[in-house]
Structure formats: structure tokens, C-alpha cells
Amino acid sequence: MEKLTSLAKRRGFIFQSSEIYGGIGGFWDYGPLGVELKRNLKEAWWRDMVSGHDDLATLPGAPSPYAMTGLDCSIVMHPQVWKVSGHYDLFHDLLVDCRTEGCKARFRADHIPTSQCPLKPSRHPGEHDKCDLTEPREFSLMFKTNVGALFDPSSEAYLRPETAQGIFVNFKNVLDTTRVKIPFGIAQIGKSFRNEITPRNYTFRSREFEQMEIEFFCHPANSQQWYTYWRDRRFAWYTSLGLRSENLRLRNHDANELSHYSCGTADIEYAFPFLLAGEFGELEGVAHRGDFDLRSHMEGKLVRAGDDFTLELDQQGQPRYVGSGKELSYFDDQRQERIVPHVIEPSAGADRATLAFLCEAYTEDAIEDSQGKPQPRVVLKLHPRLAPFKVAVFPLVKREGMPKIAQDIYRELKRHWNVFYDETGSVGRRYRRQDESGTPFCITVDSQTLENQTVTLRDRDTTIQERVASKDLVALIQEKLTA
């Protein structure tokens, strides 16, 4: 991780937020390369899950064709949303403090078995004779804010802890404006905020992060099939972009770990390098949310009752939090029945996925220098779809008209992709910089270019250079990127 974080800083992928003031725990900034990488990741997700999804085809293993559509909802929503959704009451972590002078550490109660005592790292918190831990206390993960000029309880609102609720409260708007029929999915990419007790492991657990969520609405009779479908499809998405399957696993939640809304969840987990060998960290959760959310937003806050949910009542027998009272059911004209659709939710973190792809891509190998001696190098073997720049263009030297030819090639390629131009330093150094940035191809204009309009095209992973005609570059690179 140290090597990766130092590369990410050196090359401008990820910076600590407000670094010149000493940083702020749990907040991160993406630098010039990081912003491209994360944008490419989000665009790949949107393309593969939403806009590029073939909604006319019948999919193998799926009961019928389905449509995918999108939303972009506000971060601050009506506070009743979070009361009814259960987040206001239940979105807590249990926190434990150590009272010992010189320690004063804070832990999430469920992390204690895997945490180290700061005074004696070979022990877990509570195991050292100096440990003096408090009883676990509830700590709300939602960031509070005030809306408008009055700073009193009536103006309190929250930064959303998940993007999902924006989708549920717009369910009827989408139905009314798009004429989609179940099964269909609504996708959203956006920021979420959680006041994590112990943000850690770089960007893995942050207080501000981006989610890529799909709420997939289907008939209850088919929901189990759709759950399996989405779980497998989302797993395959990560491998299609370069995560090796031996570094990934699917893990079903035990009944006691399920979120308050879930009737079944499988996590897609990755073997992040900050974990111990054999351990995995959550990349994405695929949850079966049943009809919990749509019913809550109609009726009021629900609680689990066996396999179902029922309205939670206060001591006077009134609903604890009332819903909107709006009709969020659906008339299934094929089956001629009114239902509350069930929801399958693949919920991914854009920051965790970015981190996983960076970890997977980080490679140390050796390549031969001009004297044939092996030289160590660091290379980011990012999938071309994710790579911040697809191509870099260099003139070998800054004379004999080479920069002009290289700039013309650069301008031409830039019409198609994100391309980098560099004419400073030795060409070997320029290659190394692009290797560390994950650029799949480098083009060099040299003296032969002046004679026959050919350039060298170097492959990042093999470092093999081929001589190609400048006029064929666009088609050739297109072919290689697609391959």
C-alpha cells in the first residue's frame, strides 16, 4: 500500500484533502490523473449498466427483457425520507473509547477483534492490562446540516448516506414520465456522506464518497432470479475490467449482518493489499430489499416481522414515522394485478472500485535498457477503458521538425481520445512516466518519420515497439483499444 499511495501522490492520482492545512480525516481529492481514472470508471459503469445495455434482447437466465434508466437526485432531501427509511433510527455504529492517558483511541465496536491496541499492537483493544474501554455507545453516521436561515431543530436536514433513497422517492415520477414496465432498473451515480468513526485504509473508508447504485424493480415472484442475475453480472463486470477472479469473492451475509431493509445480501469483495492474507474487503453489496422502501415511503417506517415488514408503532399505537401517503404501487397489466414491486440493489462504491483497480494494476517488473541490462520499472497495467490517457505522443528530439509532426499527430488523436504530449527529458524517462500513469500506448516521432512518415508505437505491458504509418494510427489504436 505504501508503494501504491506514494505513486498515487507522485503521479497525481489521489491527494489528501486540504493537505496544506494538515489534511482532514476521511476526505480525499482526486488529482489530474485520478479524476480521469474515476470518470472512466463511472462512465464504464453507466455505459455497461445503463446507456449501452441492450433492452430489446432477452437475457440468458433472466425472465424477460428489461429497461434501464437513470436519475441524478439532490444530496439534501426532505428529513422525513431518512426517518421513514430507517436511517435516522438505525444508521448507527457502536463506538468504544479507551480512557487510558496516552492512548485515548476510538474504535468501532465490531472492529475490535481485528484492531490493534495502540499501546501494545500485538494485542487487540481491551487485552492489554492498561486498557480501559468504555461501554459501546451509539453514534449516528449521518452528517447533519441546517436548511435556511434558522438554526433550530425545525431546519435540520442530513447529507444523504446512500443515493438509493432519491431513486425510491422518484419511483412514481419515473413511471409516469418514461412508461417503463417492470422489470426495470433506475441507476444513479453520486456523492454520499457518512461520518465514519474510524475512516481508514486510504480511500477505502471515507466520510465523503461516491456510489454507483441501481434499484431494480421486479415482480416479487421473479425477485430471487433477478437477485442471482445481478449478483453474477456485477461480479463479471469487475473481471471484465481487469480484476483477477482469484482476488475477488462473493460472500453471502449471515442473517445477523443484514441491513434493516435487506432480505438477503451478497457482497463482492476484493483482496485489498492493506488486509491480511486471506482477508477480503467489500467492494459492492448486492441486496434484495424486498418491498421495504416503496412500502415505507407509502405507509411509514417499517420494521421486520419474521419474513415480512410491518408498520412500526409508537407507545400510543400511532405510526412512529408517517410515510408520504402517495401511491407507489404498480399495476402489472400482464398479470392484471396491483403489486408493490420488489427491489434488487447492486450498490457499488466508485472510490473503492477505483482503489481496487489501482491495486490490481500496480506492477513491478524489469525491462531491458539500451545496453540490454534489466532495469526495474513500475507500471500501472490499467484496462485501456480505465486508463487516464490512452496514448502519449513524443518527438524524439526538439529539433529537425519533429515537435511539429508530433503535435499534428497529437491534435489528430485528441479528437478521439484523451492523449498526452511530452517533449521534455530523455525518451526512456518519458516512457517510464507513462508506464507509471498507466498509458497503454506511446508514439514516438524520430528521424525515420522524416523520411517515410512512420512512427514507433510502443505497448505499455510488453514494451514492444512496432513501426507503423502515421496515417494508420487512429484505426490501429482503435483496434487495439477495442481488443
- Is the Cβ of residue 184 or residue 209 nearer to ligand GAP in the bound state? 209
- Is the Cβ of residue 193 or residue 421 nearer to ligand GAP in the bound state? 193
Q: What is the smallest separation between the CB atom of 356 and ligand GAP, expressed in angstroms? A: 9
Interface residues with ligand GAP (CB under 6 A)?
Answer: 162, 164, 194, 196, 205-206, 209, 211, 213, 282-285, 345, 347-349, 351-352
CA distance 378 to 433: 9
- Is the Cβ of residue 352 or residue 430 nearer to ligand GAP in the bound state? 352
DSSP state of 78: -
What count of other Cβ atoms lies within 10 Å of the Cβ of residue 399?
8
CA distance 181 to 24: 45
Q: What is the smallest separation between the CB atom of 352 and ligand GAP, expressed in angstroms? A: 4
Sign of the dihedral defined by the CA atoms of residues 41, 45, 48, 51, in that order: negative
Asked if residues 323 and 340 have their Cβ atoms less than 8 Å apart, the reply is: no
- Is the Cβ of residue 166 or residue 395 nearer to ligand GAP in the bound state? 166
176 grid coordinates: 409516469
Q: What is the smallest separation between the CB atom of 46 and ligand GAP, expressed in angstroms? A: 16
Q: What is the smallest separation between the CB atom of 415 and ligand GAP, expressed in angstroms? A: 35
Q: What burial class does residue 278 get, using C-beta atoms within 10 Å of its C-beta: 0-12 exposed, 13-18 middle, 19+ buried? A: exposed
Q: What is the smallest separation between the CB atom of 272 and ligand GAP, expressed in angstroms? A: 11
- Is the Cβ of residue 162 or residue 446 nearer to ligand GAP in the bound state? 162
What count of other Cβ atoms lies within 10 Å of the Cβ of residue 309?
21
Q: What is the smallest separation between the CB atom of 469 and ligand GAP, expressed in angstroms? A: 45
Q: Which residue is nearest to ligand GAP (CB)?
A: 349
Three-point CA angle 199, 265, 84, nearest 5°: 75
- Is the Cβ of residue 294 or residue 457 nearer to ligand GAP in the bound state? 294
For 409, the 3-state DSSP assignment is helix
Sign of the dihedral defined by the CA atoms of residues 204, 206, 210, 212, in that order: positive
Phi-psi region of 86 (alpha: psi -120 to 50; beta: other; left: phi over 0): left
- Is the Cβ of residue 117 or residue 263 nearer to ligand GAP in the bound state? 263
Q: What is the smallest separation between the CB atom of 351 and ligand GAP, expressed in angstroms? A: 5
